[in-house]
Structure 1
Amino acid sequence: MRRFLIHTAILAGIAAIGAVLVVWLGLFNVSARSGHLPGVSWVLHTTFRNAVELRAPPADAVPDLSDPDLVALGARHYDGACRVCHAGPDEGRTATMLSMLPAPPPIKEAVADWEPQHLFWIVKHGVKMSGMPAWPTRTRDDDVWPVVAFLTRVPEMTLAEYEELVAPPELPADAAGADVAYCASCHGADGRGRGNAQVPRLDILGEAYIAASLTAYRTGARQNGIMHHAASTLDATGDARLARFYGAQQPSPASDPQSDSEPGGKRDHITLGRDLAMGSAASADVPACSACHGPWPDRLSALFPRLAGQPEPYLLRQLELWRDGERGGTSRAHLMHQAAKDLTDGELRALAAYYASLKPGEAR
């Protein structure tokens, strides 16, 4: 036994010396052109697949991914952040893509044989030594799912359908250059969100609030991977230019208010939301939302966003984030943490339904 241990120690020492020499003398060829030794690619890929399947969330944690607005939001982020490596569906890859090691697979191949929960883990956490980055922010999962929703549609999508989905709108003559073009792909050139209920209407928010929000996204004070990527392409000058452009857009109703036309159950829901917003509901733990957010004819503070006319799904998700302590923002963020912390699920839905039922800028 003693002899065995001595021989083992000697072999381990030789191995350690060899490893040190490989590292310090640069004996291992790191060139992407040289490729891997036989069997290394299989080991790495098998390890990757098993690691994802072990750590991905359970299948029952996958939300409903069928909303076309969710798919469109994910597609537009993919187009700006991911297409450069994986290309569009059925789109040829560039020579630079193909020269990487490993080469990023075309997107249809990349999503094949993965379930939505696996795609979520890959998009959120990335893959070491592959060039696949982690999601830009850490604390939220909900902003990853739109990309997953898009990826689940990719196998049946043609390049023409993809191009139509991500095509930017026509810009007006007074648009502030390429920055507006990028933002308009989701928010529209007029700031009205292109009918997508998953994104906020910028024409309602105001110049100062938009500028402060862009800064919060870029610095990480407000977590959202999609917006963190978008804001990282800007500086303070770009923030001001975009805020000025969208802040100058005149709010206009996307549709007529719904409070008088909805069926009884929905109308009652909106009525409860109005009572909560005005501070006349039975719950003493819920402050009056109208004190800061209206509806009122004139904005009380440049950092208090108008809510009237924002899409209901977007409002509901933001209220959930405030209540759960997962949202940051401007210097007034601490006020919302206190205001939302005692709201129930039903109260959140009622408030979102009420404010969504109003016309932008409505004072009632």
Structure 2
Amino acid sequence: MKRVLQTLAALAVLAGLAGGAVVGLGLYNVSARVGHLQGVSWVLHTTFRNSVRLRAARPAEMPDLSDPALIELGARHYDTACRSCHAAPGEAQSATMAAMVPAPPPIGQAVQGWKPYQLHWIVANGIKMSGMPPWPAQREDDVWPVVAFLSSVQQGMEGADYGTLTRLPDEEAPLAYCLGCHGDGGLAQVPPLNGQGAAYLEMALQAYRGGTRASGIMAQAAREVPPETMGDLARWFAAQPVAPIPPQDMPADLVERGRALVHADTGDPDVPACRACHGPDRSERSAFFPNLAGLPAPYLRTQLGLWRDGRRGGGPQAGLMRKAARHLDDSDIAALVAYYASLPAETGQ
């Protein structure tokens, strides 16, 4: 037994010396031109698939991944953040991307064999040694639009459909880029920006760009806008007439409860009532807070939940909003959402 242990120890020392020589003397050829040793690619790919299956847990709830607005939002993010490596549906990869080791698979191939929650894990966490980064924000709820898009690719989305989803309005950049999601009343999780205060909009853009307000989608989008144009962009949106979006149909009892919460005294001298910052009375709203009237209910629900859970930031109002939201329960949030979403956006009254 002693001899066996001595032999094992000697082998371990030799292995350590060999590994040290490979690292210290640069003996391993890292050139992508020569690729991996025989069998290494199979080992890495098999490890990747098994690792994802082990760690990706099915969530208790998932959004409706067939929602066209969710798919469109995911496609627009993919177009600027992911297309350069994985190409668009039906599109050939560039020669540079195809020559990577390992090469990122074309998107139609990459999504095959995965369940939606596994795709969510991959997008949220990224993959080591592949060039795929993790989601650029500690907020995994806004990964779902990308998963909705990828699920559509799994089901056979064609290049023409992708082109329709990602086509930009006929405006100058960066305005066209922003209008793609925030124009025409916004999307399910995206608020329309017309008529919001310029000071608030510029502050929000700077917060996304600086990382003090978390969103993987907006972190990418804000960096597509040149910093020197943010003020002009904010003022342009602020000057636009609010689109006459019909009020969202909400349960009457929730609307009335929400109305009472919005106008109620909070009992904290440092925290004003909701109406003092967010309206609906135009004369009471603060320039550094958004008008919530008529905003999409899914967006309002997500944002209030983030404030309540202490996961939302951005701008000098962050501390105040965390105080205002920390005692809200799910029923309070549902009532506030119902009230503000039921208001006519074109008047904010």
Worse-superposed segment, 25-34 or 118-127: 25-34
Task: Say which SS state the counterpart of residue 291 (structure 1) adopts.
Answer: helix
User: What does residue 174 of structure 1 align with?
Assistant: none
- Greater mean alpha carbon deviation, residues 268-277 or residues 43-52: 268-277
Deviation at 1:224, TM superposition (A): 0.5
1:313 aligns with 2:298: yes
> 1:178 matched to which residue of 2?
173
CA distance change for structure 1 residues 166 and 363 in 2, over 3 Å: closer, same or farther? closer
**Structure 1 unaligned regions, length at least 5:** 172-176
CA distance in 1, matches of 2:311, 2:128: 27
5 Å-filtered alignment, 1:1-364, equals 1-58=1-58, 60-138=60-138, 140-155=139-154, 156-171=156-171, 177-188=172-183, 192-193=185-186, 196-255=187-246, 257=247, 266-279=251-264, 288-298=273-283, 300-360=285-345, 362=347, 364=349
TM-score, with structure 2 as normaliser:
0.92
CA distance in 1, matches of 2:278, 2:254: 19
Larger displacement relative to structure 2 (17-26 or 58-67): 58-67
| CA drift at 1:5 | 2.6
**Which stretch has the larger CA shift, 270-279 or 156-165?**
270-279
Identity across matched positions, percent: 54
Amino acid at match of 2:102: P
Give a deviation string over 1:311-358, Cα, whole Å, max 9, x none.
122112111111121111211111111111222222212211221222
Secondary structure of 2:89's counterpart equals coil
Matched positions, count: 346
Q: Distance in 2 between matches of 1:60 and 1:50?
A: 22
Quote how far apart the aligned CAs of 1:360 are.
Answer: 3.1
- CA distance in structure 2 between the partners assigned to 1:90 and 1:148 by the alignment: 18
Residue 124 of structure 1, CA deviation = 0.3
1:267-310 CA-partner distances (Å, limit 9, x unpaired): 23222222221228xx9799631111111233642212111121
Contact 1:204/1:360 (<8 A) preserved: no
Contact 2:75–2:146 at 8 Å: present in 1 too?
Answer: yes
CA distance in 2, matches of 1:278, 1:9: 75
Q: Return the offset for 1:236.
A: 3.4
Q: Distance in 1 between matches of 2:263 and 2:11?
A: 77
1:157 and 1:234 map into 2 onto residues whose CA distance is 29
User: Are the aligned partners of 1:209 and 1:304 in contact in 2 as well (CA < 8 Å)?
Assistant: yes
Q: 1:165 to 1:221 in 2, by over 3 A?
A: same
Contact 2:255-2:339 at 8 Å conserved across structures: yes
Change (3 A) 1:247 1:51: same
Shift of 1:362: 3.2
Report the Cα distance in structure 2 between the residues aligned to 1:118 and 1:337, rounded to whole angstroms: 32
Q: Flag the 1:34–1:254 CA change in 2: closer, same or farther, 3 A.
A: same
CA offsets, 1:47-105, max 9 Å, x none?
10111111112254434323221111111101110111111111111111111011111
CA–CA distance in structure 1, aligned partners of residues 216 and 81 of structure 2? 11
Q: How many Å apart are 1:361 and its aligned residue? A: 6.1
Work out the CA distance in 2 between the residues paired with 1:123 and 1:227.
16
Structure 2 residue identity aligned to 1:114: W
- Residues in 2 aligned to 1:363 and 1:24: alpha-carbon distance in whole angstroms: 67
Corresponding residue SS for 1:202: coil
SS in structure 2 opposite 1:239? helix
Residue identity in the other structure for 1:135: W
State the 1:33 CA deviation.
1.3
TM-score under structure 1 length normalisation: 0.89
Greater displacement, 68-77 / 292-301: 292-301
Provide the rounded CA distance (Å) in 1 between the counterparts of 2:56 and 2:67: 22
- What's the secondary structure of 2:331's corresponding residue? helix
In structure 2, list runs of 5 or more residues that go unmatched: none
Query: Which stretch of structure 1 is more off in the superposition, 241-250 or 230-239?
Result: 230-239
